[in-house]
Amino acid sequence: MLDIQDRKYANEITAANEGERVSIAGWVHEKRDLGGVFFLVVRDISGFAQVTLIRKKTEKELFERVKRVPRESVVAIQGRVKSEQKAPNGYEIVPERMEVLSEASQVLPLDTTGKVGAELDTRLDARFMDLRTERTKHIFIIRSHVLKAIRDFLDERGFIELNTPKIVSAATEGGTALFPISYFEREAFLNQSPQLYKQMLMASGFDRVYEIAPIFRAEEHDTTKHLNEATSIDIEVAFVDHEYVMTLLEELVAFVYSKVADYPGLAKLNSNLEVPKTPFRRITYDEAIELLSGVGEEIEWGEDFSTSAEHTLGKIIDELYFITDWPSAIKPFYAQPAAGGTCNAFDLMHPRVELSSGSQRVHSYELLKQQIESKGLSADNFEFYLDAFRYGMPPHAGWGLGAERLLMCMLGIGNIREVVLFPRDRRRLVP
């Protein structure tokens, strides 16, 4: 058996290795038979290596075995490197040995070369195969880079990464968009947000915290921008107001864009990514209503914006922007009230969709209790949370940013399910 533990990745070999014996391993991506010459393209995570066999110069049994191996089989090949400008990376491998480590079925669920398209449902049903395509592979490599960039940005600014419970006894904001679960003798829920817990941490002396973790929303949406299990990037900062965390948010988003813009595989997505300039434009809720009214879309003060209204604003503004000074009535109970029935809350908007919501938080125990009850909720259900406000809670602010929406918008991808390995939505529970 070939020693595949010492294998070379495709991108580790160059024409400068001419004459060297190397071992590679991966999937049979393509086969091309030109009669006297046969090409086998082997794919690994780093790229492609071309294996070239000339009938008159290759051992007959090896030539025939290579010809017969089905596409997407896993193979290990040992051979000599030969310079070839027309081949991927400027070299080809003249094989001496090949082992089929796992033979694939002849009929594939989809075409990994991308030459024949597949419906999204087909791709998600066979996600393990879809991940072998160059486009999908690079989406998830970029996703990894995005999450690393976010952690680097926050770590450099003194944030501590913590993890809050995903099984909880009460809703973050009340409402019915909860997944109930059986928790021994009691009913519990999958958490909608780490909101209550990250606020409680502000009473602990941890001035700056963040979490990147799943959230669960039992909303019966079936759109290109909604998921029932998503990844939320949440921060909370003590002794600051909403303006501070808005600036932090726009700087983080611009930083992430800049990191992705340098990624070589971006071209595989046909993405026209432009790094946004900071500061982002800011408009108040009232100004947003005026803009909509100017194009014939009337919104009553105190109403939330519909998807249609968001799209209209996106076309008018056509850049990343904040909507500020929202009516208290349509924001959560923990948003700090301000003058005229508004609160110190904001949304970060992409022209396509809302990316983030945040606010300065109420830090007064009595006011917070009143706010909870004003929303028709029982303060008793939030006793564990309210207790943190009895014994010295500093002013604080924070936001939650949807990882999938950020990726979708940044890369110009049409459906949010494409940026989730195994999406969970109204209809999909497997794979």
**Range of 172's domain?**
127-419
Last residue of a domain, one of 67, 102, 137: 102
Distance CA 228, CA 216 (A): 6
Pick the closest to residue 351 from 408, 294, 286 (CA basis). 408
Going by pLDDT thresholds of 50, 70 and 90, the confidence category of residue 428 is: very high
Based on the number of CB atoms within 10 Å of its own CB, is 50 exposed (0-12), middle (13-18) or buried (19 or more)?
A: buried
Do 191 and 291 share a structural domain? yes
Do 401 and 265 share a structural domain? yes
Look-up: residue for tokens 């602990």? 204
Within a domain: residue 376?
yes
Q: For the whole model, what pTM was predicted?
A: 0.94
CB of 399 within 8 A of CB of 249? yes
Do 271 and 171 share a structural domain? yes
For residue 128, give the 3-state DSSP assignment.
helix
Tokens representing residue 324 in the block: 């500020």
- 99 backbone dihedrals φ, ψ, rounded to 5°: -120, 135
Going by pLDDT thresholds of 50, 70 and 90, the confidence category of residue 354 is: very high
Within a domain: residue 431?
no
Going by pLDDT thresholds of 50, 70 and 90, the confidence category of residue 3 is: confident
Q: What's the mean per-residue pLDDT of the chain?
A: 95
Going by pLDDT thresholds of 50, 70 and 90, the confidence category of residue 35 is: confident
**pLDDT value of position 271:** 81
User: Residues of 285-323 as b/e, b for ≥16 C-beta within 10 angstroms?
Assistant: beebbebbeeeebebeeeeebeeebbebbbeebeebbbb
Do 261 and 163 share a structural domain? yes
Q: What distance separates the 2 farthest-apart alpha carbons in the chain?
A: 88
CB of 31 within 8 A of CB of 68? no
Going by pLDDT thresholds of 50, 70 and 90, the confidence category of residue 177 is: confident
For the ranges 341-345, 355-359, 375-379, the lowest mean pLDDT is seen at 375-379
The alpha carbon dihedral of 295, 298, 302, 308 has a sign of negative
Within a domain: residue 425?
no
Within a domain: residue 350?
yes
- Relative to beta strand 345-349, strand 229-238 is unpaired
pLDDT digits (tens, 9 = 90+) for 78-99: 999 999 999 989 999 999 999 9
Give me the helices (H) in 107-241, please: 120-125, 127-130, 134-156, 195-202
Within a domain: residue 118?
no
Going by pLDDT thresholds of 50, 70 and 90, the confidence category of residue 272 is: confident
pLDDT digits (tens, 9 = 90+) for 213-240: 999 999 998 899 999 999 999 999 999 9
Distance CA 430, CA 223 (A): 18
Last residue of a domain, one of 102, 119, 150: 102
Do 299 and 187 share a structural domain? yes
Going by pLDDT thresholds of 50, 70 and 90, the confidence category of residue 189 is: very high
CB of 36 within 8 A of CB of 55? yes
CB of 103 within 8 A of CB of 75? no
Distance CA 162, CA 324 (A): 28
Number of domains in the chain: 2
Going by pLDDT thresholds of 50, 70 and 90, the confidence category of residue 171 is: low
Strand order of the sheet with strand 354-360? 160-161, 208-216, 229-238, 396-402, 354-360, 345-349, 321-324, 281-284
Do 154 and 93 share a structural domain? no
Look-up: residue for tokens 């791709």? 123
**pLDDT value of position 379:** 93
Q: What share of residues in the chain are helix, strand, coil (percent, to 5)? A: 35, 25, 40
Do 386 and 332 share a structural domain? yes
Strand-pair partners of 212: 233
Q: Which amino acid does the sequence have at 426? A: R
Do 226 and 180 share a structural domain? yes
Q: Is 4's pLDDT higher than 90?
A: no
- Close Cβ partners of 125 (under 8 Å, ≥ 6 residues apart): 109, 431
Within a domain: residue 428?
no
**What mean pLDDT comes out for the span 378-389?**
94
Q: Which amino acid does the sequence have at 279? A: P
Percentage of the chain beyond pLDDT 90 is 91
Do 334 and 223 share a structural domain? yes
**What mean pLDDT comes out for the span 302-317?**
96
**What mean pLDDT comes out for the span 148-162?**
98
Cα R_g (the chain), whole angstroms: 27
Within a domain: residue 206?
yes
Tokens representing residue 231 in the block: 């990844």
CA 406 to chain centre: 7
CATH number of the domain enclosing 44: 2.40.50.140
**What mean pLDDT comes out for the span 105-134?**
96
Do 229 and 279 share a structural domain? yes
User: Residues of 137-158 as b/e, b for ≥16 C-beta within 10 angstroms?
Assistant: bbbeebbebbbebbeebbeeee
Q: Is 182's pLDDT higher than 90?
A: yes
**pLDDT value of position 172:** 61
Do 353 and 390 share a structural domain? yes
CATH number of the domain enclosing 224: 3.30.930.10
Q: Is 200's pLDDT higher than 70?
A: yes
- 315 backbone dihedrals φ, ψ, rounded to 5°: -70, -35
Within a domain: residue 338?
yes
CB of 317 within 8 A of CB of 333? no
Do 180 and 41 share a structural domain? no
